[in-house]
Amino acid sequence: MNGFDNQGVDERLSSPAVQRNRDPILGVLNEILPQDSTVLEIASGSGEHAFHFAYHLPQVTWYPSDANVAARASISAWRAKGGPPNLRAPLALDVTRRPWPSVDYDALVCINMLHIAPWEAAEALFAEAQRLPVGGVLYLYGPFKREGSHTAPSNAAFDADLRRRDARWGIRDLETVESLGQSHGLTLERVVEMPANNLSLVFKPDVQA
């Protein structure tokens, strides 16, 4: 029910969605991440994204994190199975419990969290993103509504299912997320159409004159 499958006797989890979206996401990250940067990934889930991105971005130091014990165990198990040296051990991080563990990051990456979390999680994420240095990046990936409307019937059905499961969940309005960013000194610089009716959102800190 959580979208993950066990790999066998070890603690690795696997999500079919990761296999579909990891390379399109990697393509965007290749373009936007600062060179020799430190990335803090929020809600890393199974750890497959972290493993894949760290492997293909050796110049980036990648810190995965998750609030869930089983997810962190999965991340550690993937890391133990040939994880690259720039992939760090997972951090125990609940996005809503601030301050976060102390990591000096240049970029925040958050994939498929905003719609499966209460709005307070988005607020906390953007509040912490205020720590990003000039030239830093907040990268979000997932389904979003545009101008109050779903971009596909499948997203509308997914949204209804999410809200049945938890009334605090649901696909967010792109404009509302952009406004939240603006209130924390972050500008939505780029929106990238992704497979399966998802979007990549690239926020950067405002540069003060």
pLDDT tens digits, the chain, 209 residues: what are they?
345 455 445 799 998 889 899 999 999 999 999 889 999 999 999 999 999 999 999 999 999 999 999 999 999 999 999 999 999 999 999 999 998 988 899 999 999 999 999 999 999 999 999 999 999 999 999 999 999 999 999 999 999 999 999 999 999 999 999 999 999 999 999 999 999 999 999 999 997 63
- DSSP letters, 150-205, are -SSHHHHHHHHHHHHH-TT--PEEHHHHHHHHHHTTEEEEEEEEEGGGEEEEEEEE
* Rounded distance between C-alpha atoms, residue 91 and residue 200, angstroms: 24
Residue 25 has a pLDDT of: 98
Map out the domains of the chain as residue ranges. 5-205
CA atoms of 66 and 64, how far apart (whole Å): 7
- Return the closest-CA partner of residue 178 out of 162, 189, 193: 189
CATH of domain 5-205: 3.40.50.150
Cα 16 to Cα 46: distance, rounded to the nearest angstrom: 11
pLDDT of residue 10: 79
Instruction: Give the phi and the psi of residue 96 in degrees, each rounded to 5.
Output: -85, -10
Tell me how far apart the alpha carbons of residues 57 and 176 are, in angstroms, rounded to a whole number.
Answer: 31
Q: Which residues are registered as beta bridge partners of 202? A: 139, 190
Q: 109 vs 77, 105, 136, CA distance in Å? A: 21, 10, 11
Q: Among 209, 190, 40, which residue's Cα sits nearest to residue 129?
A: 40
Contact 13, 70 (CB under 8 A): yes
The pLDDT value recorded for residue 1 is 31
pLDDT score of 208: 61
**Which tens digit of pLDDT belongs to each residue from 47-94?**
999 999 999 999 999 999 999 999 999 999 999 999 999 999 999 999
